[in-house]
Each structure stands twice: as C-alpha cells, then as structure tokens.
Amino acid sequence: MQSIVIVAAKESLGRYVMFEHFLRVAVIVVPTITAAHEQSKVRLVEGSFQEVIKSAAEISGARFVGLARFGPIDETSSQVPVAAFLPETWAGQEVCLSVMSVDGLYQSSGTYSIDPSWLGGRTKLTYPSAKPEIIAQYNREDVAPLISKGACGNETSEFTTAFWGQNVSGVSIVFLNTSRAEETYIYFPDYPDLGDVLCNKSETANRTAFDTLCHLPSGIPQHERLRVSSVSFKGGEMGREVNFDVFLAKE
C-alpha cells in the first residue's frame, strides 16, 4: 500500500513539474509575442531612412528640435535602442523620427507608418543606423530625437515623446534652437499653476543645431495633448512666442 502511494505521489509531482515548466515558458514567450505584435503595427517606410555625417555643420533653422527621455547607450552595441509614445489618435497616420546632434554633424530621419488598429502606447522603432559607435560618443543631452506627426519633410506643430537608449529614466527634455538667446522660458497656457520653466543653455561649446534644454516639471499631464509655449530674451528684448503641442508618456 505504501509503495502505491509513493508511485502516485511521484506521478503527481511529475505532472506538477511539467505544468510549472509550461507556465515558465508561457510567461517568457507571451510578452515577446506581444511586443513583436505591437512593433509590427509601426513600420519604417521602405527607403525613407537617411543618415548623414557631415564634416561641417549647417545652422539649423528649426526652433523646436527635440523631445525625449534618455537612457545609456552601449558603445559596443551594433544597435541604438529607440522607442516612441504614439497616441491612439495617430492611428493610420505617418510619423517622422529626426535625430540631430548638438554640433549639427550627425543627422538622420525616417518615416514610419502606424497601423489603423493602433490603440496607443509605447512601441520600439526600427533604427537602422550604420554608425552607432558615433552616436554613442555623444553625451545624452547632446543628441536631440524628435518624433513629429506626418511624414518627414512635412511641417507640423504636433510632437510626441521619443525614448533614446536603454532603461530610460528621468523627465522629458525639450530641445530648442534659440539663436543663442540669453534666457528662455517655457510655460503651459492650459495649466497656469505649473508656472514657468527657466531653460538651461547647452554646455557644449559647438552648439550649432540647438542651444537650449528645457526639463519638463514633474506632475505635468500625461497621455494627452499639451500646449507648450516658449519665449526667449536677448539684449533685453523679448523674441516672438512659439507654440507647439506635445504628447508625454508617463514617467
């Protein structure tokens, strides 16, 4: 009788071990399939990616140059990790990812198509850089990724958050080209209680493409369109106000 109980216990234990192994496999595989499924809904348009490394920089005419959160980039990696928060209202649209270094020597752009069934959220973006080792040499606040609504080359005032690097943390940073303004502020017309944000000048000597970084405050509304206004001062005179709409991912 005792031997029968032992045999039954072994069989039960075997089934438990097999079931536990199945659960572990399921836990590992399901998120991978989900991530791949989400990424398949946002595709790089064939032939749209361009990457240029210049010997001399051209002065950027754009005011709003970047919006991103950052993480480290492995200098030995063959890929640059890039992701984006894409709102549900952009389903069925195209978006442009442009990247510019502070010295203007590195530039890239690529257009991505979003599937009409997109439900909004964060997704990885294919970024086929041929020079990841050059990108990794820049400090994280010396590279300005910008994701804008519409194909590359189209003018827009609607932008969303890019995630640049691995294990992204910290607040979102707005990159501006103020033509060497002495002071620059951003503020939020729809949320006056947030107050004005005094932006910081880039500490890089060769700041041709952008010269100002604005760290967005905590407690700012997430996952909805946010109007941001910027104004700069130079020689005691106030420059023109520039407005843009952004979507921010949760911190």
* Alpha-carbon gap, residue 70 to 72, rounded angstroms: 7
pLDDT tens figures, 101-149 = 999 999 999 999 999 999 999 999 999 999 999 998 899 899 999 999 9
Question: Residue 11: is its pLDDT beyond 50?
Answer: no
Strand order in the sheet with 200-201: 121-124, 82-86, 162-164, 64-70, 169-176, 212-215, 200-201
| Residue 7 DSSP label | H
Q: What residue has token string 């709409």?
A: 245
CA distances from 53 to 50, 95, 101 (A): 10, 23, 10
Counting residues of the chain whose pLDDT is more than 70, the rounded percentage is: 82
**5-14, 26-35, 166-175: range with lowest mean pLDDT:** 26-35
Please list the alpha-helical segments (H only) found in the chain.
2-40, 132-136
pTM for this prediction: 0.81
CA distances from 164 to 45, 136, 235 (A): 20, 11, 35
Structure tokens at 22: 């199945």
pLDDT tens figures, 16-43 = 344 344 333 333 333 333 344 455 799 9
pLDDT at site 244: 93
pLDDT tens figures, 46-85 = 999 999 999 887 766 678 999 999 998 887 778 899 999 9
